[in-house]
Structure 1
Amino acid sequence: MTSAAPEAVTARAAEAVTVTGPGLRAAPIKPVDVVTVVSESEVIAVKQVRADDPYLEGHYPDMTVYPGVFLIESAYEAVLHLVRTTRGPQADAELTALDSVRFTTALRPGDELRVRCECRPGDEPGTLAVIAHCTTGEAKAALLKMRYRLR
């Protein structure tokens, strides 16, 4: 079992903001605080939703919520960490399909997002199929079904 400290995740995300090109993405947010690899096919990411995070300013001003697209980014970060932990630091995972997204509960400042990703080989060689269960406390926040190409 491995974990990434917030500094390691933040440093990688900060680098992505200034770099463009194939396989790279902008990540102006801190999508996860801690990532824990449970097994070669399961990873868990945790993110504390904070009212002072800049991306929340103006997002539904009368009822601030964590944007749904950031749930997808949090899951992506978890999958990327799993791939690099199990396949080596140079490995990469590119999101190729978002097959299904179901948002069920809004996340608000003070909530803790927990993303548990179940990963299995995809239908095509060199791909990964992922089901991400997003929760806060006892509530289901979202269910994401995604596919990645491994490099």
Structure 2
Amino acid sequence: MTAPPTPRPVPGAAVEAGRRARAAPVPAVDSCTVLSASDVTARKLVRADDPYMEGHYPDVTIYPGAFLLESVYQAVLHLVWETRGTGSFAVPARIDSVRFLAAFGPGDVLDIRCACTPSGPDGLDVTAECRKGETRAAKVSMSFRIVPAADQEVTDA
């Protein structure tokens, strides 16, 4: 029996190991595990002191939906770097659907599993299931273009 892959820390947001990445608002995943060329899992502990949590909902602090999408994106980016090399970059092309079914609060663990399907020579269609323990918390379908890292413009603040 083969041991499961060990989760690896996710690369830093701006520059890591000589590769140029986009500026990310914050690390939206704590670890990623590439299971195959088409499957990746990611995990994020939602922390009360993360800068985006304060005031998101004044009386009920929850992990913002935009950051859940960012978590999926960072998992896909990690898969692309692991399977195609750091000379490739994933650029979000479109969001087909997002369904939020449960909220994440401080102390909750967001577990993501992304199934990725090639679409043409430079595309990737992704279906992500997000869980909170045994509860299905969100489902995301989105598409990405894969481009050389040098062609990636860093546009985030």
Displacement of 1:140: 1.1
Q: Among residues 113, 117, 120, which one is paired with 1:116 in the alignment?
A: 113
The equivalent of 1:40 in structure 2 is 37
Q: Among residues 127, 143, 146, which one is paired with 2:142 in the alignment?
A: 146
Percent identical residues: 52
Displacement of 1:26: 3.7
- Contact 1:2/1:38 (8 A) holds in 2: no
- TM-score, L = length of structure 2: 0.83
**Cα deviations by residue, 1:80-130 (Å, 9 ceiling, x for unpaired):** 1101100111111110010000001000001000010000112x3310000
Structure 1 residue runs without a partner (length 5+): 17-22
5 Å-filtered alignment, 1:71-150, equals: 71-122=68-119, 124-150=120-146
- Output the CA distance in 1 between the equivalents of 2:22 and 2:100: 23
**Cα deviations by residue, 1:26-50 (Å, 9 ceiling, x for unpaired):** 4221100001001111000000001
- Output the CA distance in 2 between the equivalents of 1:103 and 1:42: 21
- Contact 1:2/1:37 (8 A) holds in 2: no
- 1:79 is paired with a residue whose SS is helix
Alignment partner of 1:4 is 2:4: no
Q: Which has the higher contact order (CA 8 A, sep 6+)?
A: 2
Displacement of 1:24: 6.4
Structure 2 residue runs without a partner (length 5+): 148-157
- TM-score, L = length of structure 1: 0.86
